[in-house]
Chains A and B, each alone.
Chain A
């Protein structure tokens, strides 16, 4: 059974720093991996989707990488801003069903 883990659960960094959020998963037979952002009291916004055949995806200051062999994905945020403060969740989708399996998220605080 797939398990997705995100460490740390919370992270606080000064504005302007580059940072990396981690996501690990136990079953490498994934269809894709997605990174989402969740703001308090709001829904989730998809940030990046990496298909199993891809190694990375980029959107603006965000770069997500995928290493299926080691069961890891990272989300790199460049030049962090206070507006990046949110909870970031990763989720994997397996070949066998339509279910996204989610990590518990990393709560990110960017200090001005």
Chain B
């Protein structure tokens, strides 16, 4: 199993550009999550999904969009990137909430200039 994979690993965007961060998992997990981590801070939840076709906002959803057309994939879309979106983005998945651990991808380091 590859676990949770994220692409790209690094990206530099100019303000106003758009991009999609890709996340895939091969563990057949229903739950998937997108987090961002700013330097010296904990993670903040951007969006999550409890199954294909079902998504919901987390703590910091503004400026982002997600979709979940399959169990395996959970892409995060940044529209009109802003310098405030400079961060490390982590995707995670879990079999269920609460009683099962979350598995994390290696992260995408995004810089918006």
Contact = CB atoms under 8 A, between A and B. Distances in A.
Interface stretch (B62-70, B77-85, B97-105): B97-105
Contact of A49 (B41, B44, B99): B99
B75 interface: no
Interface string B12-38: 000000000000000000010100000
Interface residues of A, number: 24
Interface of A: 4, 9, 31-32, 34, 41-46, 49, 51, 89, 91, 93, 98-105
A102 B31 CA distance: 18
Contacts of A91: 42-43
B90 interface: yes
A70 to B, nearest CB: 21
B104 A51 contact: no
5 contacts: A32-B98, A44-B104, A89-B42, A91-B43, A98-B48
